[in-house]
Amino acid sequence: MVNIGILGVGTVGTSVANILEANGDIIEARAGKKIIAKAGVVKNLSKDRAVSIKLSDNPSDIIDDPEIDIVVELMGGVEEPYELVKRALSNGKAVVTANKALLAYHRYELQELAGDIPFMYEASTAGGIPVIGALRSGLSANHIESMQGIMNGTCNYMLTKMINEGANYDDILKEAQELGYAEADPTFDVGGFDASHKLLILASIAYGIDAKPEDILIEGIENITQTDVAFAKEFGYEIKLLGIAKKVEEGIELRVHSTMIPQSSMIAKVDGVMNAVTVVGDRVGETMYYGAGAGGDATASAVIADIVDIVRGNREPMLGYKEGFQSNLKLLSRDEIVTHYYLRLMVDDQSGVLASITSTLGKFGISIESMLQKPTNDDDIAKLLFTTHICQESKMQDAIKALSALSVVHGDIAMMRIEK
């Protein structure tokens, strides 16, 4: 028999305890041993919870209990779970976590501390989708060329509603919160931070790259308007919040931002709260992983898969590489990113304006690919919408500054990156 202790018995923790009981037969058949949720730790003992396990509000009741074999950390946050997980590891207990923020900041320290003690985290990225297992094991023969992920269900739900139903941003955010997908602080979702944590976890396995959220480009979906949605439709694009990892000659690009992608691509068809990750390996080609990225049972499904793996004796290296491996791949800076761009700007509707815009872009070597002009409520002002051929991010940022300084340009210039 294997005893589990759960730190944090919220939605996912409750599902873990309940699935271990309800699906105990198949889980035992697969793991080779009976797995029992022995105890849980919660902050507030007076809150009603739909579980029958013994609860306490003292983490030591799990971490220091010699009968607990595996500690499942589902608390959220960073520093408190970090301290508790370190204590669990130093007590020799295997750890399973769904905590992406903990891993975004401390995965390398935890890997070192864990050593030979199993440390698994499938549920941290894209909930119930077994993409970490796929990257760490299934694709281990490959150099990973690129990854694109829809890894935040809240943003995908909101964008789908904005695109398909013309929904208003604030209303739809409220709906996503009511459905229970959004983080306690939704800026974590809509600002792209949640997706960035997941991207960094995947990038460690794919490339052996040790990066923190502050090292990469992170933008959210806050500035998308119905004008952008209409433009995207007209030019054959979907808008998605993507986590992107790309191996290029100079190194690795890691970035999270709202992105226009061709409507014909597989990932463009992933709607609502669903998550998907495409991984391109140099030998296998494109692979895609799709499913529920959040929710109690889906996330618990991944947590229990890790527990089963540990009970079976699986001892894969935590981040997928043998001890001592050092990646020689360089993480490119934001300025070095190269991609296509979409720009939206308000300009005076008069002769010569287009020429001054195109010549300003030309000064930075930026070439326009397509363009649309739309009237506004003001007869003297027009909206200009462009896409560009590929150019370097630093050039685009400089060009936006130069365009903003033109007297014929009004207000902020909106920009979105395009991946083809």
Q: Which sequence positions are flagged as catalytic?
A: 198
State the minimum distance, in angstroms, from the CB of residue 275 to ligand HSE. Answer: 7
Q: Which stretch binds ligand HSE (CB under 6 A): 86-94, 134-142, 151-159, 395-403?
A: 151-159
Extract the tokens encoding 205: 């396995």
Q: Is 278 in the site for ligand HSE (CB under 6 A)?
A: no
Nearest to ligand HSE of 294, 319 (CB atom): 294
Interface segment toward ligand HSE; rule CB under 6 A; list 147-155, 164-172, 355-363, 364-372: 147-155
Applying the rule CB under 6 A, the residues between 282 and 341 that interact with ligand HSE are 293-294
d(CA 242, CA 264): 16
Q: Which residue stretch of 20-28, 177-185, 315-323, 394-402 sits at the interface with ligand HSE (rule: CB under 6 A)? A: 177-185
Q: How far is the CB of 313 from ligand HSE (least distance, A)?
A: 29
Chain position carrying tokens 């119930």 = 128
For ligand HSE, the binding residue among 182, 200, 209, 346 (CB under 6 A) is: 182
Within 13 Å of residue 230, how many CA atoms lie on the same side as its CB?
11
CB-based contact 342:263 (threshold 8 Å): no
Distance CA 41, CA 65 (A): 12
189 binds ligand HSE (CB under 6 A): yes
Q: Rounded to the nearest 5°, which phi and psi values hold at 409?
A: -100, 135
Instruction: Give the residue with the Cβ less far from ligand HSE, 96 or 182.
Output: 182
For the bound state, the minimum distance from the C-beta of residue 198 to ligand HSE, rounded and expressed in Å, comes to: 7
* Chain residues 101-130 in contact with ligand HSE, contact rule CB under 6 A: 127
Q: How many residues bind ligand HSE (CB under 6 A)?
A: 11
Distance, in Å, from the CA atom of 216 to the CA atom of 141, rounded to the nearest integer, reads: 27
152 binds ligand HSE (CB under 6 A): yes
Least Å distance, CB 29 to ligand HSE, is 29
Q: How many CA atoms lie within 13 A of 307 on its CB side?
A: 32
Q: Is 243 in the site for ligand HSE (CB under 6 A)?
A: no
**CA–CA separation, 160 and 335 (whole Å):** 30
CB of 39 to ligand HSE, least distance (A): 25
187-203: b or e for each residue (b if 16 or more CB lie within 10 Å)? ebbbbbbbbbbbbbbbb
User: Which residues does residue 241 pair with via DSSP β-bridges, in sequence order?
Assistant: 258
User: The sheet that has 70-73: what strands, in order across it?
Assistant: 54-56, 35-41, 2-7, 70-73, 94-97, 119-120
Give yes or no for residue 258 binding ligand HSE (CB under 6 A).
no
Choice from 13, 133, 153, 281 touching ligand HSE (CB under 6 A): 153
- Applying CB under 6 A, the span of 69-77, 176-184, 357-365, 371-379 interacting with ligand HSE comes to 176-184
Helix segments in 213-338, DSSP class H:
226-234, 296-312
Query: Can residue 73 be called a binding residue for ligand HSE (CB under 6 A)?
Result: no
> Which residues make beta-bridge pairs with 218?
256
> How wide is the angle at C-alpha 119 spanned by C-alphas 118 and 120, nearest 5°?
115
Rounded to whole angstroms, how far apart are CA atoms 223 and 245?
Answer: 23
- Binding residues vs ligand HSE (CB under 6 A): 127, 152-154, 181-183, 189, 194, 293-294
